[in-house]
């Protein structure tokens, strides 16, 4: 789910407005609370890192942004949530996804974490 802060930040980024900062980081955590538009952080963040970002095709060519990263897990963890941010710590959270079921990753393993945002149509315009 996109957050309210993420939507506002998206407006700034589209319009090249002051305060807009690109979303380059992905994080995972262990929080199991459902997503809400008012979320500003993961419920219980464990690790965050610079993401690789690509465009892939879902309903139209290259209409979906995919953030992903391979994390080396330092302790056993049950990954339950993923988020995308515009800073290496703190910052604004574009969106948060609670996984349908938690994923156990053992210490020393590598976890592949991704977040997708599909862009679709909708708009109004006018003139006088």
Partner 1 sequence: MALIQWTGQIVNDGFVIAGQCLYDVNASHPLYVAYGTGTTAVSAGDTALENEVDRVLATATEETDYVAGYAIIYGQSLVLKASFDITSSITPTEVGVFDASSGGNMLYRAVISSGDRRNLSNGDVWKVEVIIKVEQGT
Binding site for partner 1 (CB under 8 A): 1-2, 4, 7-8, 10-17, 22-24, 37, 51, 53, 55, 60-65, 67, 94, 117-128
C-alpha span between 4 and 87 (Å, rounded): 17
For residues 57 and 89, give the distance between their C-alpha atoms in angstroms, rounded to a whole number: 30
Name the minimum Å distance from CB 36 to partner 1. 11
User: Whole-number minimum distance, CB 68 to partner 1, in Å?
Assistant: 12
Interatomic CA distance for residues 40 and 26, integer angstroms: 14
Instruction: Provide, rounded to whole angstroms, the least separation between the CB of residue 100 and partner 1.
Output: 17
Nearest to partner 1 of 44, 52 (CB atom): 52
Q: In whole angstroms, how large is the CA radius of gyration of the chain?
A: 16
Reduced to 3 states (helix: H, G, I; strand: E, B; else coil), residue 12 is helix
Q: 12 vs 78, which CB is nearer to partner 1?
A: 12
């Amino acid at each position: 789910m996109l957050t309210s802060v993420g939507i506002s930040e998206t407006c700034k980024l589209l319009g090249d407005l002051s305060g807009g900062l690109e979303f380059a980081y992905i994080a995972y955590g262990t929080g199991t609370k459902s997503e809400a538009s008012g979320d500003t952080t993961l419920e219980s963040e464990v690790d965050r890192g610079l993401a690789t970002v690509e465009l892939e095709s879902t309903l139209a060519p290259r209409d979906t942004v995919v953030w992903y990263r391979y994390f080396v897990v330092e302790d056993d963890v049950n990954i339950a949530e993923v988020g995308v941010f515009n800073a290496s710590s703190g910052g604004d959270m574009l969106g948060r996804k609670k996984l349908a079921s938690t994923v156990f990753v053992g210490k020393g393993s590598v976890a592949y974490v991704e977040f997708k945002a599909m862009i679709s149509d909708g708009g109004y315009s006018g003139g006088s």
